[in-house]
Structures are given as C-alpha cells and as structure tokens.
Structure 1
Amino acid sequence: MSSTLDPKNTQNVTAKTPDEKEVFKTLNVNKIYIPVLIGLGITVYLAAKEIDFTIFFDALKRSNWIWFIAAFLMLLARDAGYVQRIKMISDNELSWKSSLYIILLWEFASAVTPSVVGGTAVAVFILNQEGLSFGKSMAYVMMTALLDNFFFIVFAPLAIFVSNTFDFAVFPVISANMFNEFVQQQGLKGAFYVSYGLTVIYALFFVYGLFINPRGFKWLLVKATSFGFLKRFQSKATQAGNEMIIAAVTLRGSGFSLWIKAIFLTFFIWIARYLMLNCLISAFTPLEAVDHLFVFARQIAMWIVMLLSPTPGSSGTAEAVFCLFYVEYLREEFCAAVGILWRMFYYYPYLFIGFLILPRWITRINKKRQAKRGAKQ
C-alpha cells in the first residue's frame, strides 16, 4: 500500500461520473410526495392525539412575532453561508448564481433521501453540470461532508460538557412508568452514541483517504469486499477508491488557510441552523441565556439521533421526537404543533423550492450542453 500520491501516477485511475438516469431518479419532483405524505401522516396523528388547537392558536396570538422574523433570518443566514462556502472552496470558479442553484438543489436532494443514504452522487452531478470537472466536483463534495461531520464531532461533546456544567439533562427526562422511561431514555442515548460513533468512523476514513493514504484506502475497500457475498460490491468499492484518489489529488493543493476559513464558515452555518429553533421557541416562551444553551445543546443530540432515520429527510422521525426534547419549554397541548412549525421553517420549503427550480435548472444545463455542442461544430 503506497502512500505516494503524485498526480502523474494517477493517470490510470479512472472513476465513472454519476449515471444521469440514476441521479434523476433522486432529483425528481415526484419524490416530494413520499416525505410529504409521511410528514402529513405523523402530523394528522399528532393533531388528533396531542394538539389542542384552541390553546395553540391562543399561544400563537400571544407569541412574539419578532422571534419568527429572527428565525427566518437565521434560515437565510444558514443558506447564505452554504452558498459562500461552496463558492469559496471552488476558488470562486463557481458564480453566485451557480452556487445558489447547487445549494438549493442539494438541499432538495437531501430532503428526499434518508440521512443514512445521503446525496453524494447527486451533489457531484450538480457541481459537474455547473461547470466543474468531475475531480473537483467529487473533491468539494467530500470536503463539505468532512466539514459537516467535523462540526458534529466537535460540538456533540461540547453539548454533553455544557449540560454537565449547567446541570441539565441533554437527553430528555421522559415522564412514564419507570420501565418505559428507562427503555426510552437508554434507547435515545444508545441511538445518539451509535450515530456519533459512526460519524467519527466515517470522518476518520475520509481523513485517511483524503490526506494520509488514498491508495491504501482503495486497497482496504477492495480487500474488504473480496470475501463471500461481499464480492458483489467489489466493483463499487473499486469505484469509491478511485473517486477518493481523484479527490485527494484535487485537494492536495488546498491551502491551510482555506480549511480554517471553511471550518469557521461551517460552524457559522450549523449554529445559524440551530439558532433558528431557539428563535422559534423564544416566540412562545421567553428564554434566558442558560435556556438558549439548553435548547441548542439538546438540538445537537436530537439531530445526531435523527441521522439514523431511514425516512427521506427524517420525515416522521423529526416530528415524533421533537416533543421528547422540548416539552419542558412548550406546553404539552401545543408542543407538537410547534414541532410541525419548526419543520415548516427548515424542511418543507426546500421540497417546494426544488419543485419550482428543478425544471428551470434542467433547461439551464440543457442550454449549456447545446452551446458546447455548437462550439465544437
């Protein structure tokens, strides 16, 4: 396993660009119906069982609408951060318009695929169609994935530390009989630590593959799929190894300052995303400084648990677990309604934005292709 990575030695390393037909199976406006139906199903269930709409609408009338505006601004700040980050790591090769399309379609792809699956191939395809080479597209998608995982790796222990320092439970105290309480609490903690552990392992593999030994990474994948029923995955393992080598070569020239800027921008993006919920809860319940820390820390724990959700965009899972984490700040009669409102802020808009801009983007890339063909003729 050679750790030498000279671009001249990678000429025979080839990787397939994402299959367009497969990409458009995911990047499909018809995909919005699945998460919407799941979300609506959970919403109807919660509405019938847990929401007292008279109390909720009364709370809505008395709410502080400045905080709703602040929540929306946090959402805009997060998206602006995403657009700035992808433009920055592409060394401004992408225009602002291309960067905006990329982020909105990437969010749409994430919203219609389970968190455990992700939308790497879709993201690579989108960047490639916006004018980046396949190698750069793969490298930048891997870089952003590593940066996002780094946020969780750093902030999850901080959430635990803060909860211990200020003596509050980062995992919710569930009101039930002792057996159910124990089972549910241990289940949440178990899901958190399993998800966090997988995130760390995933990040370490990326670090090893991108910065230490890309060829060794490929060798490990190929060897791991050399036995028994795993042999059927060997061609995909080889493909993944080649993609890592190409991405590693592309990122090899990235300066240290770029990574530092990208890390801080990533922290800004996720903090803005989480503060949106702080603002939303503040609209109904005044929060002191320590309460904001509590809400923020619990959201990190909740988000890591949601990473294991098998449903598109964590539909159903997010609505179901919201009140477990935040009923202490919101009355039981309308906690679920605020959870649905939370999803309406940060999740459902991207489904409908994707629905609106995807046809326009397809027309846009088709025009680019026609222009290239015309230039060659």
Structure 2
Amino acid sequence: MSKKKIKEVDAKKVFKTLNPNKVWIPILLGLGIVFYLFYSDPNMSASKLKLVFDAEASAIILAFLVLLTRDIGYVYRIRTLTGEKLSWKSSIQVILLWEFASAVTPSAVGGTAVAIFILLKEGLKFGKSLAYVMLTAILDNLFFVLSAPLVFLFIGGDVFANLSAGSTQFKYGFSIVFIISYSLIAIYTLIMAYALFVRPRAFKWLLIKATGLGFLRRWRHQAVEQGNEMILASHEMRGKTASYWLKISLATVFIWCARYAMLNSLIAAFTDINFLEHMVVFSKQIIMWIIMLISPTPGSSGTAELSFNQFFAVYLGDYTLVANICWRLLSYYLYLFIGAFILPRWIRRVFFTKKNKNKVYELD
C-alpha cells in the first residue's frame, strides 16, 4: 500500500489545553454554582458549612482509598492496553495528565487529542496512540450504554422521582437531557466500534461521500485524514488475544465501579443509609454521569454540582452542600492541582531528557 501522511498532532493546541492557568476557569464555575446553591436555599446558613466536621473520619478515609484504587485501575488499564510498553511511572503520569486534560476541557470534547500527544511523547507510535485512546473511549462509553438499561431495570421508572426540585417540569428536563446524552453516546459508540473493529475503509468512504455534498466540502480534507487515522488505528487492534480483551474490559468495569463507590463512601460519612439505598445511589450516579457527559463546561463544572444536589439531597438533607463540595474536591479539583503540579516535570522529562522527535506519521 502506498504511504500516506497522517496529520501531526498540533503541539501548540495541546499545550494551549495543558495550561496550568486554565485550572481557575472550572474552579470559578464550580464555586459560582456552589454560592448560587448556598444563597438560593432559604434554609442554608454559614453555620451549616460547619457540618463538614460531622463527617465520619473512617468513611472519608475509605472514600480516598477507593479513589486511589480507581486510579490504580486506570494505570493498570493503560499499561495493559499498551502491551506494557509504558513503565509504571510513565503510566501514572499519563493517567494524571489525561485526567487534567479532561478536567480543563468540556466533557463533550474530552482530552482525546491531548491523550494521543501524551502517549506519543512517551515513545509510542502515532497509530498505536490513536488506537489506544479510541479504544479507551469506546470501552468507557460502552459501560454507560450497557449499564444504564440495567439501572432502569433495577430502580424502575423512578430514577428521576426524588429530585430535590420536586417539580414535574424539572424532572422532565433531566429526563430529556438524559435521553439526548444517552442516544448520542450510543450512536457514537456504535459508529466508532464499527469503524475501528469491522469496516474502517467503509467509514472513510462514508466520510468522503458525506463531505462531497455542498457546504460540507470545506471539511473534505479533514474527512480524508480522519478516515486514514481510523484505518491506521484499526490495523493496530488486529491480533489481540482474548485475555487482552478480558483484562481491559474488567479493568474498565472496575474503574467506573470504584469511581461511583467513592461517592457511596462519602455519603456514608454524613448519613446512615441501608444497603438497598446504597445500590440506588450507585445506580443514580450512572444516570448522572451520562447527563454530565454533554456538559459544555470544563470538567462538567456547574453541571456536576447542580446534578449532585438534585440526585442526592434526598439522602443527605442538611449535609448536601458540604458533601457536594467534598465530592468535587476529591473527584475533580484534586486532579486539577495534581496535573498542574506534575505537568512542568513531565515536559522536562519528555522534551529535554528523552528528546522524542515525532514529526511525520505514516500509514503503512
């Protein structure tokens, strides 16, 4: 097959995303929503913020440990995905920077280009980097696509029944957003899985045909590049063993279960709920995350805080706001600061120590 150039990852755009100064945008958005929730609740007072000291220390520690195991799951998955081409240290830095990139970009966009760039600078070829990032996205989205119906089977039609706003209009609003988000995720996952595993050339052909129509012609060049990249990524996925697929699939389930179990631990720090209620809390998180995935704000800032209050105030009562803040501190803001801290060190290592120079990527 003749060689065709694949576009180089734009380093300038990547570093525009991997900018430590960007941490203040989602922080201000999140704090803005917290202040709104505080002042819009007539029963809220400054003294109620002191309720954070009522938290059970052992449950807070458990929440942190569960969060740590989730990160270990991420590190294990990326190392397994890459055939252990990454060292443990590199895998840890890749995951933390990937989390940082996802935190400073809208959830609907994610840190895909940044993740590819990070893997490139760790010494992986473009095709492999692209394939691993795409496969990660497909696995994560597939978890949502498969688990959401199970939630409705478990809870029934009452997933949105106990929203704190209490109005039918608000309930329907969340329901509609969920349906839109779930549909988009399902369609995207189906198309990407088909293109990556079944017919990458057919996917390229469809892109070219689609961009041959009227005003879509302006994106024809990008369509050709996207098609070439999909073929390259698909080629990298060939020949994987059954144990490979089993390991990364189980790791994906573990990662998301640990992410949700962290909030269960956190809620247990403020209030006593029984096992069935814990299962409902766990299940509602799946629905909440699907809603958050189409948020236009960096790291779902604002959307996450509002959704948390609506879904879990029924269990937390007066502790809702402090639990909300603790949840975002552990699951989101922590990674903003860690990413901003390790980014300069990672740049020094990959640019001035390893001196990787990947200028042109080719399709065999």
Query: For residues 174 and 29 of structure 1, what CA distance do their matches in structure 2 show?
Result: 36
Counterpart of 1:295, as a letter, is V
Deviation at 1:170, TM superposition (A): 1.4
Match of 2:48 among 48, 55, 79: 55
Matched residue, 2:195: 209
In the TM superposition, 1:78-97 aligns within 5 A as 78-97=70-89
> What stretches of structure 2 of length at least 5 have no aligned partner?
359-364
Match of 1:366 among 339, 351, 363: 351
Of 38-47 and 275-284, deviating more is 38-47
Deviation at 1:119, TM superposition (A): 1.4
Counterpart of 2:131, as a letter, is A
CA displacement 1:180-232 (0-9 Å, x = unmatched): x2221111111111111111111111111111110001111121222222222
Give the direction of change, closer, same or farther, for the CA distance of 1:73–1:13 in structure 2 (3 Å limit): same
Query: For residues 5 and 245 of structure 2, what CA distance do their matches in structure 1 show?
Result: 27
Deviation at 1:34, TM superposition (A): 1.1
Query: For residues 136 and 17 of structure 1, what CA distance do their matches in structure 2 show?
Result: 14
3-state SS of 1:310 partner: coil
Deviation at 1:176, TM superposition (A): 5.8
| Contact 1:75–1:273 (Cα < 8 Å) also in 2 | yes
Give the direction of change, closer, same or farther, for the CA distance of 1:161–1:371 in structure 2 (3 Å limit): closer
RMSD between superposed Cα atoms in Å:
1.7
Give the direction of change, closer, same or farther, for the CA distance of 1:186–1:125 in structure 2 (3 Å limit): same
How many residue pairs end up in the alignment?
A: 356
**Does 2:126 match 1:134?**
yes
| Contact 1:53–1:334 (Cα < 8 Å) also in 2 | no
| Contact 1:284–1:330 (Cα < 8 Å) also in 2 | yes
3-state SS of 2:339 partner: helix
Counterpart of 1:246, as a letter, is L
| Contact 2:123–2:356 (Cα < 8 Å) also in 1 | no
In the TM superposition, 1:240-255 aligns within 5 A as 240-255=226-241
> What stretches of structure 1 of length at least 5 have no aligned partner?
1-8
**Does 2:278 match 1:292?**
yes
| Contact 1:78–1:272 (Cα < 8 Å) also in 2 | yes
Query: For residues 309 and 67 of structure 2, what CA distance do their matches in structure 1 show?
Result: 21
**Does 2:337 match 1:337?**
no
3-state SS of 1:185 partner: helix
Query: For residues 171 and 18 of structure 1, what CA distance do their matches in structure 2 show?
Result: 42
Query: For residues 296 and 13 of structure 2, what CA distance do their matches in structure 1 show?
Result: 20
CA displacement 1:264-283 (0-9 Å, x = unmatched): 11000000000000000011
Matched residue, 2:162: 173
Q: TM-score, normalised by structure 2?
A: 0.94
Give the direction of change, closer, same or farther, for the CA distance of 1:202–1:176 in structure 2 (3 Å limit): closer
Deviation at 1:175, TM superposition (A): 5.8
Counterpart of 1:103, as a letter, is I
Deviation at 1:371, TM superposition (A): 8.0
Of all paired residues, the percent bearing the same amino acid is 51
Query: For residues 371 and 41 of structure 1, what CA distance do their matches in structure 2 show?
Result: 41
Query: For residues 123 and 305 of structure 2, what CA distance do their matches in structure 1 show?
Result: 38
Match of 2:178 among 192, 195, 198: 192
Matched residue, 1:6: none
**Does 2:248 match 1:262?**
yes
Give the direction of change, closer, same or farther, for the CA distance of 1:303–1:151 in structure 2 (3 Å limit): same
Give the direction of change, closer, same or farther, for the CA distance of 1:223–1:364 in structure 2 (3 Å limit): same
Give the direction of change, closer, same or farther, for the CA distance of 1:144–1:192 in structure 2 (3 Å limit): same
Matched residue, 2:362: none
Match of 1:160 among 152, 167, 171: 152
Query: For residues 114 and 270 of structure 1, what CA distance do their matches in structure 2 show?
Result: 19
Matched residue, 1:20: 11
Deviation at 1:12, TM superposition (A): 2.7
